[in-house]
Amino acid sequence: MEHNRKEAAGAPVAEAERADMELRGADAERDEAGHRGGTALPSRGKRKRIVLTGGGTTGHVSVNLALIPGLLADGWSVHYIGSRDGIERSLIEPIDGVTYHSVSTGKLRRYWDRKNVTDALRVGKGLVQAASLIRKLKPDVVFSKGGFVSVPVVLAAKLNRVPAIIHESDVTPGLANRIAIPCATAVCTTFPETAAYIKSAKVVQAGPLVRPELYSGDAERGRRLCGFDRSRPVLLVMGGSLGSRRLNEAIYEALPELLPRWQVVHLRGKGQAAAPAAAPAQAAAAAAPRDPALQPSGPIVRIGGAPIAPAAGGDLGPTAPADGRSATGAEASRPAGTGGSEEAEGGGSELMEATDGYRSFEYLSEELPDVLALADAVLSRAGANAIFELLALRKPMLLVPLTLAQSRGDQIRNAASFEAAGLARVLPEEKLSTVTLMQELRALADSGPELDARMAAAAPADPLPLLHRLIRDAAERRG
């Protein structure tokens, strides 16, 4: 029902009461019949209810997005508590069958800032709002993916004796999860190393969760979206849902060197500016056809299935796949998503039409699986969700983790774990330049077949059945 999707900002208690009455009446018949799947529960006279929380970045929402279809199919009443203006609202609110509620939230900093005082007040207000919502909704279980907005929700669950399950994606828990872990009944981890940082019997090694729709991308659709041909392999550049200014700047500077060898699809991040006008023009000139006498003639190496030949002067230059297929060979139907790219939704995401072989988007949603299927290699930050999804798709990765000055070091540890396992190359941001970028991309190409074999051996198992079982067991113990 449409009104079940309304945001509860400003009147969370009243909205929760209305939702409670509507859901109990509308779903009584289905509850008695029982439901299939990993979280199916026997009839108990009322519909089981879960509150999901997490936000601030796409990484703090992605696991919840993967859980929601199974929860709805199995008859759960699904509520989501997030912030009023966070990215989680735009991702969750359009989903039919999920009721979104907002609470006040503030940033939790590890350093002194005058905003710490006002943000502490916002967190306190959010705790009061979350506690009120938990009392009214009476969920059987809370599932938290982390982020600042999750802290008051998990604390409120503890105050109301509702079991809470936390999911931690990084090697070391973030500040929000460190605060919330003492209130949790279980902590699901992605990296095996994380258990050493939690030291609790609550830890459950779940492994990484990959959104199922990412497996169904179509490279040919991605090629049409970007306007690319088969003359060069495709490099996907992505700096996370909010983007990376430094990564973007490095790509703009490197375009004249990149485009003779690669076609580049660039996800700049929400609100990040497009390339300066001069950059595409210079890059287009650099990518112009060359004298045939100067074209590569050396031995061909492969990266992600796409042939790349050493260009004149020892650089790498591409050739088209011999079979006429996309470099990845992906053939699948388009997935249903929760939204489209900004361009597709009419939001004005700009394509750099003047530059052959370069396409730029603020972000992609429904089209992302197709672009991932098209990509032969990926230049990325080192957020845990992103790198495990790239691993599952067997995409060669060059990782540029956030520096210690920008973060708590979680991406540095994530990247180091992948590098030690031989699953990615790492280029510290402090060393990022056009020269080092081109050197690392060549090294990534040289590791082609061996890297692909290691990624295939390390492909993660699907943790969704385990997560659904943990949710079901927590609800049954409480019931």
- Reported confidence tier of residue 320, pLDDT bands at 50, 70, 90: very low
Residues 186 and 219 in one domain: no
- Reported confidence tier of residue 118, pLDDT bands at 50, 70, 90: low
> Which pair of tokens denotes residue 429?
């941001």
Name which of 27-31, 51-55, 98-102 the model is least confident about.
Answer: 27-31
What pLDDT score does 478 carry? Answer: 80
Residues 196 and 290 in one domain: no
How far is it, in rounded angstroms, from Cα 358 to Cα 115?
Answer: 40
Write out the E strands in 253-409: 263-267, 301-303, 306-310, 316-318, 358-361, 377-380, 397-399
What pLDDT score does 199 carry? Answer: 76
Q: Judge whether residue 57 has pLDDT over 70.
A: yes
How far is it, in rounded angstroms, from Cα 176 to Cα 369?
Answer: 30
DSSP state letters, 123-177: HHHHHHHHHHHHHHH--SEEEE--STTHHHHHHHHHHTT--EEEEE-SSS--HHH
Name which of 92-106, 237-251, 335-349, 381-395 the model is least confident about.
Answer: 335-349
Nearest to 374 by CA among 230, 207, 212, 199: 230
Residues 285 and 347 in one domain: yes
Q: Judge whether residue 112 has pLDDT over 90.
A: no
| 204 three-state secondary structure | strand
- CATH number of the domain encompassing residue 235: 3.40.50.2000
Q: Read off φ and ψ for residue 159, nearest 5 degrees.
A: -60, -30
Q: Judge whether residue 204 has pLDDT over 70.
A: yes
Q: Judge whether residue 479 has pLDDT over 70.
A: no
How far is it, in rounded angstroms, from Cα 445 to Cα 110?
Answer: 39
Residues 182 and 246 in one domain: no
Length of the chain: 479
User: Is-contact 151 180, C-beta < 8 A?
Assistant: yes
User: Is-contact 164 185, C-beta < 8 A?
Assistant: yes
Average pLDDT rounded to a whole number, residues 325-341: 31
Higher pLDDT, 215 or 301: 215
Residues 223 and 202 in one domain: no
- In total, how many domains does the chain have? 2
Residues 467 and 454 in one domain: no
What pLDDT score does 107 carry? Answer: 66
What pLDDT score does 319 carry? Answer: 30
Q: Which residues contact 32 (CB under 8 A, 6 or more apart)?
A: 43, 45
- Reported confidence tier of residue 301, pLDDT bands at 50, 70, 90: very low
> What is the edge-to-edge ordering of all strands in the sheet holding 358-361?
358-361, 263-267, 234-238, 377-380, 397-399, 425-426
Residues 245 and 119 in one domain: no
Answer yes or no: pTM beyond 0.85.
no
Residues 90 and 54 in one domain: yes
Residues 232 and 171 in one domain: no
Q: Judge whether residue 293 has pLDDT over 50.
A: no
Residues 82 and 145 in one domain: yes
Taking phi first (over 0 means left), then psi (-120 to 50 degrees means alpha), and beta for anything else, what does residue 243 get?
Answer: left
> Which pair of tokens denotes residue 407?
């973060």
Taking phi first (over 0 means left), then psi (-120 to 50 degrees means alpha), and beta for anything else, what does residue 299 get?
Answer: beta
Residues 163 and 305 in one domain: no
pLDDT tens per residue, range 408-432: 788 999 999 999 999 999 999 999 9
Is 244 annotated among the ligand-binding residues? no
Pairing, β 141-144 against β 77-82: unpaired
How far is it, in rounded angstroms, from Cα 445 to Cα 428?
Answer: 19
User: Is-contact 305 451, C-beta < 8 A?
Assistant: no
Residues 229 and 155 in one domain: no
Highest mean pLDDT among 232-236, 346-350, 363-367: 232-236
Average pLDDT rounded to a whole number, residues 49-75: 93
pLDDT tens per residue, range 229-288: 999 999 999 986 555 788 999 999 999 999 999 999 999 987 666 665 545 545 555 554
Determine how many CB atoms are found less than 10 A away from the CB of residue 392. Answer: 20
Average pLDDT rounded to a whole number, residues 29-37: 36
Q: With pLDDT > 90 as the criterion, what percentage of the chain qualifies?
A: 51
Q: With pLDDT > 70 as the criterion, what percentage of the chain qualifies?
A: 69
- Reported confidence tier of residue 97, pLDDT bands at 50, 70, 90: very high
Q: Which residues pair with 168 in a beta bridge?
A: 189
- Reported confidence tier of residue 368, pLDDT bands at 50, 70, 90: very high
How far is it, in rounded angstroms, from Cα 34 to Cα 53?
Answer: 26
What pLDDT score does 353 carry? Answer: 42
User: Is-contact 115 107, C-beta < 8 A?
Assistant: yes
- Residue 337 belongs to domain spanning: 214-458
What pLDDT score does 26 carry? Answer: 41
pLDDT tens per residue, range 119-167: 677 778 989 999 999 999 999 999 999 998 999 999 999 999 999 999 9
> In which element (H, E) is residue 18 found?
helix 12-26
Q: Judge whether residue 84 has pLDDT over 70.
A: yes
Q: Is the dihedral of CA 325, 329, 331, 336 positive or negative?
A: negative
Name which of 57-71, 220-234, 335-349, 397-411 the model is least confident about.
Answer: 335-349
What pLDDT score does 308 carry? Answer: 41
Higher pLDDT, 437 or 60: 437
How far is it, in rounded angstroms, from Cα 403 to Cα 382?
Answer: 11
Burial of 110 (C-beta count, 10 Å sphere; 0-12/13-18/19+): exposed
Is 411 annotated among the ligand-binding residues? yes
Q: Judge whether residue 316 has pLDDT over 90.
A: no
How far is it, in rounded angstroms, from Cα 475 to Cα 469?
Answer: 10
